[in-house]
Amino acid sequence: MAPVARKGRGACTNASGRFEPVVHEAVDDGWTDADHTPAPLRTTLTPEHARTIITKNTSPDVGFDRSINPYKGCEHGCIYCYARPSHAFMGLSPGLDFESRLFFKPEGARLLEQELAAPRYRCRRIHLGGNTDPYQPVERDLNITRDLLQVLQRFNQPFSIITKSVLIARDVDILGPMGRAGLAQAMVSITTLDRALARTMEPRASTPAKRLEAIRRLADAGVPVGVGFAPVIPGLNDHELESVLEAAAQAGATSAMYVTLRLPLEITTLFQEWLAEARPARAARVMSLIRQTRGGKDYDADWSQRMKGTGPVAELIAARFKAAVKRYSLDAPRPLLDVTQFRVPADMKRQLDLFDLPSPLAGEGGSRSETDGGPPGVEENRRLGMPARETAGIQAVATPPSGRLRRPPSPETGEGNQQA
């Protein structure tokens, strides 16, 4: 039985993570959709009690060396998301689990204050959204990203941010002043202007028109904003490259970037399942073109070419992009953010005189975010404002699905480019 997509979800299946000792497989028991309607897959939220909030990476092709991800997993459900394999480190599936079993960091703002105020902290640009969208739907209620932005504003800490959601426009009261002061930049990812394709490929992200609206509102507020045509999927959306860049430029974007589709680890199976369901007539052709950009393979992790690909197909995409950004005046270099304005607020300095705060990310010797893995108690959840509840299809839960969280051994599925 061929996998069938669920309404409002990107992945068709929920195969076990690659580290699990037991593999669960679906079997055809004869029942069909005509016999019953499966229950909607509800989104669950679990608080993650991290020790740090700033994550470092050393990937030479990423463009930033530190980032913040307010969430793990992403309800947007983009089928191509390169971050999906990271859910396997949680003991969960990169498939439906990635878009329905989410983790959030309720103490993120406090941790960020602590790290920025550390005596040995050295200011460099921080990127928000390297491995998950900071404005995914649950942000409307949780406000984790907004709380982080308020801390960044207090410290004059420069940052960049990327999203597929018009919800970013909610925070123009912070982004606007910081953008005008040379402390903030934004990137909005638009993969297609086709509503039908976007609906199946990115089921819970904002519509293409709303993303253009986000660019317009950010630009009007004085935020330097660019457009990310990412990922480019040969044979599926590559024909829209010029039209997406033109529409973004008209909306106020001043820069652009692109990334060719990457299919590491479990994503290749998930994407091909989706492709066979959503675009069966094109599936073989699309996969052939993708492999032509990866030396005949589904994916090549070589840092020197993983973002753009190689071969004639990749070269043609690069040439078209270069011509389009020049035609639509999107080729101006993005101004560097001003790190000289960073300061520790006076009230924080007074607190530091009274308390000896730990500095887990002091100087250049910081570590990646970790969690203690212990399930929070009911009283602790109440203190954090997280009672067990169920609203608008989102069920809050108090216990993680497994014990101590695994940490990735490589940056391949950690911090990365701006596809997600």
As a whole number, mean pLDDT of residues 374-395 equals 40
Check pLDDT > 60 for residue 388: no
pLDDT tens digits, one per residue of 390-400: 333 444 444 44
Lowest-pLDDT range of 183-192, 201-210, 378-387, 401-410? 378-387
Tell me the residue type at 166.
V
pLDDT tens digits, one per residue of 61-118: 888 999 999 999 999 999 999 999 999 988 999 999 999 999 999 999 999 999 999 9
- The closest alpha carbon to 100, from 18, 10, 38, belongs to 10
More confident residue, 415 or 32: 32
Read off the pLDDT band of 16 (50, 70, 90): confident
Read off the pLDDT band of 145 (50, 70, 90): very high
Confidence at residue 269, expressed as pLDDT on a 0 to 100 scale: 95
Check pLDDT > 50 for residue 277: yes
Confidence at residue 318, expressed as pLDDT on a 0 to 100 scale: 98
- The closest alpha carbon to 103, from 82, 76, 73, belongs to 73
DSSP string for 137-188: TTHHHH-HHHHHHHHHHHHT--EEEEES-GGGGGGHHHHHHHHHTT-EEEEE
> Count of CB atoms within 10 A of residue 241's CB?
18
Report yes or no: 183 and 149 within 8 Å, Cβ to Cβ: no
Lowest-pLDDT range of 107-121, 199-213, 322-336, 377-391? 377-391
Nearest-5° angle of CA 136, CA 108, CA 386? 75
Report yes or no: 80 and 233 within 8 Å, Cβ to Cβ: yes
As a whole number, mean pLDDT of residues 128-154 equals 96
Lowest-pLDDT range of 81-95, 223-237, 363-377? 363-377
As a whole number, mean pLDDT of residues 15-23 equals 78
Domains of the chain by start residue, with CATH: 43-413 (3.80.30.30)
Given CA atoms 259, 265, 266, 269 in this order, what sign does their dihedral have? positive
Q: Does the global pTM surpass 0.85?
A: no
Average pLDDT over the chain, rounded to an integer: 85
Element containing residue 249 per DSSP (H, E): helix 241-251
What is d(CA 418, CA 315) in angstroms, rounded to the nearest whole number? 20
Report yes or no: 272 and 283 within 8 Å, Cβ to Cβ: yes
pLDDT tens digits, one per residue of 301-334: 998 899 999 999 999 999 999 999 999 999 988 8
What is d(CA 245, CA 242) in angstroms, rounded to the nearest whole number? 5
Confidence at residue 232, expressed as pLDDT on a 0 to 100 scale: 98
Check pLDDT > 80 for residue 143: yes
